[in-house]
Amino acid sequence: MAETTAWAAAETFALGAAAADDIPVHFVPADGVDAIGSLDDVQRAWLKAQKFAGNAKRTVLIPGADGNIASVAFGIGNGQQGEPSGPSELLAGLLGSSLPAGTYRFASDLAHGDLAALAWSLGGYSFSRYLKKDKNGSRAKLRLANAGSDRIINTAEAVWLGRDLINTPASDMAPADIEAIARVLAGRHGADISVTTGDDLLTQNFPLIHAVGRASPRQPRLIDMSWGPAGAPKITLVGKGITFDTGGLDIKPASAMLLMKKDMGGAATALALAHMIMGQGLKCRLRVLIPTAENSVGGDAFRPGDVIASRLGLSVEIGNTDAEGRLVLADALALADADEPDSIFVFATLTGAARTALGPDLPAFFTNDDELARSLPPLAASIGDPLWNLPLWDGYRRHLDSDIADMNNVWESPFAGAITAALFLKRFVTRARRFAHFDLYGWRPAARPLGPKGGEPQTARAVMEQLRRELTS
């Protein structure tokens, strides 16, 4: 059974009425020390002695007359806070992981107070499942006002959940473990769930999912979860759940396998987003499809040059077994599309080409909705969950042609790999009104204010904010 510390995200907050011993935190812009009105002359002299001038990311603990911490001065600089995007209040993520144990409160109203509170919790995350000493023991807690607290806690839980799933090594994150987490979420929110496993994938017409996972003793499966009232806008999330990717018979070099536990980052993102949608009660008919498998090397592994039927009926020539993610997604997308949803959102750690183009911090997204292409990037940037729109340029569809099948799963060229992968997926979606595919890295290469090095369900918060605005307007 998979484990998660996601629900411990609530423990980064203190709820209820403010207490007299809550420690105030002053957000101080560059050269803004004089604006802190509650300091006495001794405390101001202390800040001067520490050479504190509101410079970004600098924290000074201010003592009281009894020697205990009376308040905290936290520099936010001149607004250039060093994250990929978002307001300087997001730097509050540094506080959740660095302040001594105790209960703190923001000393004044902030322009982006909810984001600062969320950042506090995201920055306080650590993955300690395999450590003898739990880093999440005694911690700094933030006093959270009742207004908006449920949404902040739910969002923090969702991100922690996604991180836990990605950070867990493949030894403890097999397809069955993803199923177990999905069942926990379904039970928590009263969602329906069904799972098609192993050879039943063939009888239920999911041949591509079966082909990718058949060489592993850990059986592949398709997880199908639904929630919300019939008649509400239909939102379908599809997440790539490759729990480990050797590359198959087109095997990866050892160095390229080191992070392949994160190849189920799309599934983690879809489940994190689903927790937000259900936990915050968005008015929609939600469906979550997770095709999950381990791409292993074995006597029964699918081969380069094989031709495999898809659920949609299109035959696919296998140009490369290391392009397996798009195969499992194709069958799931055909199932999703048959329901004619209003929106299909696909999340996948799909191509190195997207990373080459945009780097690890900036996921690529593709959509047939021009309005979404315009509105989502600035919205995502404003909350510190950035992404970048790339074109679904139809001119490259010819590069997926095959001489012996309806299509190939790759274009063997160093050019436009992210676009051709997105076009492959789009071939299996013809009925949905809106299609959006997010090609993400799913990993933070180094510690930053919003979290430590490790797994990250990129784009989940951005899509949630987009849907919240659409479905509550």
Give the pLDDT confidence of 316-350 residue by residue, as tens digits.
Answer: 999 999 999 999 999 999 999 999 999 999 999 99
Give pLDDT, residue 85: 80
pLDDT surpassing 80 at residue 365: yes
Pull the structure tokens for residue 327: 């195969």
Residues near 358 by beta carbon (within 8 Å), at least 6 away in sequence:
364, 388
What's the rounded mean pLDDT across residues 405-415?
Answer: 94
pLDDT attached to residue 137: 57
Nearest Cα neighbor of 157 from 240, 278, 257, 49 is: 278
Token readout for 328 is 């499992």
Catalytic positions: 252, 326
- Report the mean per-residue pLDDT for the chain: 95
According to the model, what pLDDT value does residue 86 have? 87
Q: Identify the pLDDT of residue 109.
A: 83
Predicted confidence (pLDDT) per residue in 43-89, tens digit = 999 999 999 999 999 999 999 999 999 999 999 998 755 555 889 99
pLDDT at 99: 96
Q: What mean pLDDT is predicted for residues 10-30?
A: 94
**What's the confidence (pLDDT) of residue 82?**
54
pLDDT at 146 exceeding the cut of 80: no
Asked if 119 and 446 touch (Cβ cutoff 8 Å), the reply is: no
Q: Is the pLDDT of residue 229 over 60?
A: yes
How large is the average pLDDT for residues 422-451?
Answer: 97
**Residue 340 pLDDT:** 98
pLDDT of residue 134: 60
What's the token pair of residue 331?
Answer: 């069958």
Confidence at residue 415, expressed as pLDDT on a 0 to 100 scale? 95
What is d(CA 328, CA 186) in angstroms, rounded to the nearest whole number?
22
Residue with tokens 């395999």: 130
Closest CA to 74 of 146, 23, 148, 147: 23
Q: Which helix (H) or strand (E) element contains residue 393? A: none
| pLDDT in the model for residue 412 | 86
**DSSP β-bridge partners for residue 408:** 317
Residue 108 has pLDDT above 90, yes or no: no
For residue 411, what pLDDT is reported? 93
Sign of the Cα torsion 171, 173, 176, 180 reads: positive
C-alpha triplet 245, 207, 330: angle, nearest 5°: 65
Predicted local distance difference test score (pLDDT) of residue 394: 96
Asked whether the beta carbons of 447 and 349 are under 8 A apart, the reply is no
Please say if the pLDDT value at position 238 is more than 60.
yes
pLDDT of residue 35: 85
Q: C-alpha dihedral over 283, 155, 289, 292, to 10 degrees? A: -170
